[in-house]
Amino acid sequence: MTTPPHDWDSSYLADEPPPWDIGRPQPAFVTLADRGKLSGEVLDAGCGTGEHTLLAASSGADATGVDLSEAAIRAARVKAAQRGLSAHFEVGDVAAMSRPREGFDVAIDSGLFHVFGDDERADYVAALSRLVRPGGTCHLMCFSDRQPGDWGPRRVRQIEIEEAFSRGWTVESIQAAEFEINPIFDITTASAWLAEIRRTPTADPSGQADRI
């Protein structure tokens, strides 16, 4: 998978944290954890400094966070040690990581999907299709086209999520949500979509339905 043209380390090494690194999980994912939806083998794709990985770990999950930024992963490991939580953190591309024998039960995507161009998006969904077991779930939150202005990441239309996951997945729900962000122009929230997407139970790792 081609990496986005961005120096992610520089975002985490700047004097001020990046807008998305708020030092706590997004409330939408806290609600998912409270409802027992972040359990089993959990993958946090583009985990940043690990807040959602650690949220899943604190809920009893076997949680793994993966990010391209070495600086972010270092910070995540420090947080895990400070909080006494057991979680796995890896520097790397989700597309290159190893799949657990049975596959991940849950994938978390908080703000990764919207950084990809169209071709990279297809590669990313194919990687999730390989990593998440049939019947497993992806909880995805991305920037929404309802957000005004042109600052920040690409705005995503609801139909783009549906089309990206149209093979080997079932989109269970897409709801309007909000990201909490560090202030940008005095803005502290941004419009988002929160999607629950389930791997088709008969799907193969390529994201296509098995032939019988």
pLDDT tens figures, 126-173: 999 999 999 999 999 999 999 998 888 999 999 999 999 999 999 999
Written as six digits, the tokens of 15 are 């004097």
43 within 8 A of 99, measured Cβ to Cβ: no
pLDDT at 204 over 70: no
The DSSP symbol for 187 reads E
Confidence of residue 121 (pLDDT cuts 50, 70, 90): very high
Q: Encode pLDDT of 2-12 as tens digits.
A: 444 468 899 89
pLDDT at 86 over 90: yes
Query: What does the chain come to in residues?
Result: 212
Nearest Cα to 18, choosing from 145, 155, 183, 186?
183
For residues 36 and 44, give the distance between their C-alpha atoms in angstroms, rounded to a whole number.
16
pLDDT at 208 over 60: no
Residues 6+ apart with CB under 8 A from 50: 44, 65, 72, 73, 75, 76, 77, 79, 80, 87, 89
For residues 85 and 199, give the distance between their C-alpha atoms in angstroms, rounded to a whole number.
29
Percentage of the residues of the chain whose pLDDT score is greater than 70 = 92
Nearest Cα to 48, choosing from 71, 14, 16?
71
Confidence of residue 203 (pLDDT cuts 50, 70, 90): low
Mean pLDDT value of segment 42-70: 98
- Give the pLDDT of residue 3: 41
Which architecture, in CATH terms, is 24-94+102-199? 3-Layer(aba) Sandwich (3.40)
SS3 40: coil
